[in-house]
Chains A and B, each alone.
Chain A
Amino acid sequence: MEQLRSFIKKEFYHIFRDPRTMLILFGIPIAQLLIFGTVIKSEITDIHIAIYDQAKDKTSQEITHKLLSSGYFILDKNLESLDDIDAIFKKGKVREVIVFKNDFGKNLVKEGTAEMQLIADASDPNTAKLAIAYTSAIVNDYIKKLYPEMHMPMQITPEVRMYFNEEMQSAYMFVPGVMAMILMLISAMMTSISITREKELGTMEILLVSPLKPAQIIVGKVIPYLFLSIANAFVIVLMGRFVFGVPITGSFILLMLETILFIMMALCLGILISTVAKNQMVAMFISMIGLLLPTMLLSGFIFPVKNMPIPLQVLSHAMPAKYFITIIRAIMLKGVGLFYVWKETAVLIGMTLFFIALSVKKFKIRLE
């Protein structure tokens, strides 16, 4: 026990005395959270538009006014001819051009239909789609208010409700994802690097010659990173709550317990990597390419699993992060209890045990 304590103390010295480790442990999580928080967004603001108003009547101007006062759009230019449309898109700043046809208001009153055209720059398809959707919504809203009694034939107006995330806040999506990614990064990469570093510097030779048991070495390596990762998880959840306003509807304790489970899994994975990797470089590569990228791409964090080709869907089942993200989304947003996530929890426990067993078995008690 004394041996283990001394080992853990030594491990903390390594961590706190190495600026690089400290940066990875505490700088990267916060930076990543803030970067993802501001970059991944499914809502739009300040889209630059141009308007070619051929009608220039009361209705078209009212619609223009309504669009611009919505906060989503900024008017870049009023166009004078059709040729201008092409030119302005080529400049790149304007994302959408709205064209009102001649006699827009007159036709609307007289014939009940009027023509307007929405042209979007689809070189960025997401933004284009969103811009069109927002514009149509605003225009429809205006028309409805103008003619509340008007019923178009066979018109179906779906009432959409985004459950659990009513405003489609992207923060709700990325906070669990970033959390899984950061914990994976810190836990797996840092432990694998710290063990391979001992191999590289030759200190492993002395540790092996000492009476320390493999289990003691492994536990001694894991515990410091376990504590630091838990601290990190705390920071992420709190930042999610207070910076990005992600609620924690479920039990905070359950959330933390599940997080600890995921951290344990990642730590064991890190140890497994270190038993295979010969030096820090290899360990880092395996963790980055073998863990981080799949975690980002296949876990459903950025791209929905259901849209993937079948082989990748199958592969995604092997991603521990997928289960973790499902669990924390359920706890944070839906507020469910353990009863609803027991399957995912069981999978994570199974994975953890599997990695522990494998790494203890693979841990070399000798050189080579």
Chain B
Amino acid sequence: MIEIQNISKSYKEVKALNEISLKVNNGELFGLIGPDGAGKTTLLRILTTLLLPDSGSAKMDGLEVCKDFKKVRHIVGYMPGRFSLYQDLSVEENLNFFATVFGTTADENYDLIRDIYYQIEPFKKRRAGKLSGGMKQKLALSCALIHKPKILILDEPTTGVDAVSRKEFWEMLKNLQKKDITILVSTPYMDEADLCDRVALIQSGQILDIDTPTRITEKFSRRIIQVHAQNMYKLINDLRAFENTEAVYAFGQFAHFTGKNDETECNELDTYLHKLGHTNVLVEEIHPGIEDVFMHLMESHNR
């Protein structure tokens, strides 16, 4: 459905995208995962015909994004990273406006957006600027969907949205997928990767890996040991000082530890930490998550 081939794009000196190629299949929920400044927005803007790539080509449903941009604009639904609806128009007016702009009416495609729109319908007379963050996001999604696009492109839709709304939002995306819409979504949150069918890990304008979330973690052969102790700051410093340490990353309540050549065992760390006077020590080996993979890919990439 989406084919990207060797796309590069630079802003003056900064290379935002470097020879990116990837393919999104029909009906897929595809995640573009990477930190801020990785080039996600630039890539999505190229796909939505808002920017021209310096080189390379991209096809959306067989249509060239540079040459057939007019046709592409008919089949794409786009939700930019920033709330981009008219704040001084009411919920209803926004929806109707975007419906007519795309040559349709709100009633015609109401089926598609019903599940999303019914939640904000009680506030349909309210100005969009006065909605809460979660409601704004639902309205933006409704507006992006109103013309029944074949491809839906979402740029960091869950940034700045609370945990409950984020979960709800991903459920909405899953439902849309069932209605035969191909979805490409970008996010800086690694934990959202597991909700996608396939993901591309992107960093500094380059793709590190493309696969299903499970395959990505399965392919990862390193052993990750999760460590917790009372004093996290000291823990991380001590772990980094450990002779066999390759990498230590803080993951919220825990530190994720990778040993040189994966030879370090749990009990080895346990004794080491107890000797240094750590209390409440908890050491266990875990399955690596996407974030672990990402950290290591980034590390090896930078080297």
Contact = CB atoms under 8 A, between A and B. Distances in A.
A367 interface: yes
A6 B100 contact: yes
Contacts, number: 75
B274 interface: no
Nearest to A207: B101
Contacts of B143: 206
Given A13-B93, A203-B84, A366 B101 contact: no
Nearest to A5: B100
Contacts of A167: none
Interface band, chain A:
20 to 34
Contacts of B73: 209-211
Interface string B88-127: 1100010011101111000000000000000000000000
Interface string B62-104: 0000000110011010101011111111000100111011110
Interface in B241-275: none
Contacts of A203: 84-86
A18 B86 CA distance: 12
B190 interface: no
Given A202-B80, A367-B45, A211 B50 contact: no
Interface in A178-218: 201-203, 205-212
Given A201-B84, A203-B84, A366 B50 contact: yes
A212 B101 CA distance: 7
B254 to A, nearest CB: 38
Interface band, chain B:
20 to 34
B97 A6 contact: yes
Q: Secondary structure at chain A's binding surface: helix, strand, loop or mixed? A: helix
A205 B73 CA distance: 12
Contacts of B70: 211
Contacts of B74: 211
A203 B93 CA distance: 14
A102 to B, nearest CB: 77
Contacts of B101: 3, 6-7, 207, 210-212
Contact of A2 (B50, B83, B100): B100
A17 B88 CA distance: 7
B49 A209 contact: yes
Contact of A209 (B48, B83, B88, B96): B48
A270 B199 CA distance: 45
Contacts of A93: none
Given A6-B97, A14-B86, A203-B85, A211 B102 contact: yes
B52 interface: yes
B277 to A, nearest CB: 53
A6 B86 contact: no
Task: Find the residue from B51, B88, B96, B103 having the highest chain A CB count within 10 A.
Answer: B88
A317 interface: no
Contacts of B102: 210-211
Interface string A81-114: 0000000000000000000000000000000000
A202 B85 CA distance: 8
Contacts of B87: 201
Contacts of A14: 86, 88-89
A10 interface: yes
Given A212-B101, A366-B52, A18 B88 contact: yes
Contacts of B85: 203, 206
Interface string A7-22: 1011001100110000
Nearest to A2: B100
A124 interface: no
B52 A202 contact: no
B125 to A, nearest CB: 13
A205 B88 contact: no
11 contacts: A3-B103, A5-B100, A10-B86, A13-B89, A18-B88, A206-B80, A209-B76, A209-B78, A210-B101, A211-B73, A366-B52
Interface of A: 2-3, 5-7, 9-10, 13-14, 17-18, 201-203, 205-212, 365-368
